[in-house]
Structure 1
Amino acid sequence: MKAASIRDIKKELSSHTNQELQELCLRLGRFKKENKELLTYLLFDSFDEDSYVASIKNYMDESFETINTASFFYIRKSVRKILRNVKKFIRYSPKKETEVELLLYFCEKLRDFKPSIKRSSQLRNSYNRQLVLAKKVLQDLHEDLQFEFEEKLEDLSPL
């Protein structure tokens, strides 16, 4: 089955009633966890971006605290999982400042993590890639926001 284009879907959705649209959204939410998470963001969190960012930061704090530090293998595996989830949460928000803020917070948590990530080249590379990505996204922001985030970025120098 070939998926329809966004244009065709938009045209088809405009011909449905509110009740039918509600049923379609609920049915869509049943199939994948990510669909349900996106609907949750759109319905509950998109109006208060600050609390959304705070909840993701809280998720990162809890996740970093529960990392098994027995070996760097487990640390790398856990850090990749955290980063994968954070990137998923970033995709839900259309705001670039949310992306920069969350990436910088991730880098901050990773830099301050004990044992030091300096002993693992994979973790250092992951840290540096996220800094480069944050710098790239930062260029698209308003000048005032750029200045604010550049100060944070300078504190997080590449390892």
Structure 2
Amino acid sequence: MKAATIAQLKKELQFRSQDEVMQLCLRLARFKKENKELLTYLLFEADSEESYIEVVKQETDEMFSEINVNSFFYIKKSVRKILRTLKKYIRYSGDKATEVELLLYFCEKLKDFRPSIRRNTTLLNLYQRQLEYIAKKIPLLHEDLQHDYGLVLQELKE
């Protein structure tokens, strides 16, 4: 079965009643955890981006505290998982400022992590790639945010 385009789906949803659309959304949410998470964000958290960012930061803190530090293998695996989860939350938001703020927070946590990431090339490269990615995203933001996030970025590069 070939999936319909977004335009086709939008056109078809316009012809459905409000009750039918609600039933379709609920059925869609049952199939995949990500669909349910996105629906939760859109319904409950989209109106308060600051509180959403704080919740994501708290979850990131928890994930960093649960990392097994016995081996760099486990550290790398956990850090990649944290970054993957963070990118998923960023995708839900779709806001560039949220993306930059959460990635800067991730880099801060990674820089302060013990044992130091400087002792592992893979982790250091991952850190550097995120800093480069953030540097590309900052010019797309409002001027005030560019300045604030630029200062944080410079601090992380040192």
Distance 1:116 1:94 in 2: 32
Distance 1:130 1:56 in 2: 18
Task: Note the C-alpha offset of 1:144.
Answer: 1.0
Task: Note the C-alpha offset of 1:139.
Answer: 1.4
Q: Secondary structure at the match of 2:8?
A: helix
Higher helix share: 2
Distance 1:116 1:75 in 2: 11
Distance 1:129 1:55 in 2: 25
Equivalent position amino acid for 2:62 in 1:
E
The two structures have a TM-score, normalised by structure 1, of 0.98
Task: Note the C-alpha offset of 1:44.
Answer: 0.5
> Which residue is equivalent to 2:6?
6
1:21-68 CA-partner distances (Å, limit 9, x unpaired): 100000000000000000000001100000100001001111111100
Distance 2:116 2:75 in 1: 11
The list of structure 1 runs, each at least 4 consecutive aligned residues, that deviate by more than 2 angstroms after superposition, is: none
Task: Note the C-alpha offset of 1:137.
Answer: 1.1
> Which residue is equivalent to 2:59?
59
Task: Note the C-alpha offset of 1:146.
Answer: 0.4
> Which residue is equivalent to 1:71?
71
> Which residue is equivalent to 2:102?
102
> Which residue is equivalent to 2:43?
43
Distance 1:10 1:51 in 2: 30
Distance 1:38 1:155 in 2: 33
Gaps of at least 5 residues in structure 2 are: none
What is the number of equivalent residue pairs in this alignment? 158
Q: Secondary structure at the match of 1:47?
A: coil
1:140 aligns with 2:129: no
Equivalent position amino acid for 1:10 in 2:
K
> Which residue is equivalent to 2:31?
31
> Percent identity at matched positions?
59
Equivalent position amino acid for 2:17 in 1:
T
Task: Note the C-alpha offset of 1:142.
Answer: 1.0
Question: What's the C-alpha RMSD, in Å, of the aligned pairs?
Answer: 0.8
Equivalent position amino acid for 2:87 in 1:
K
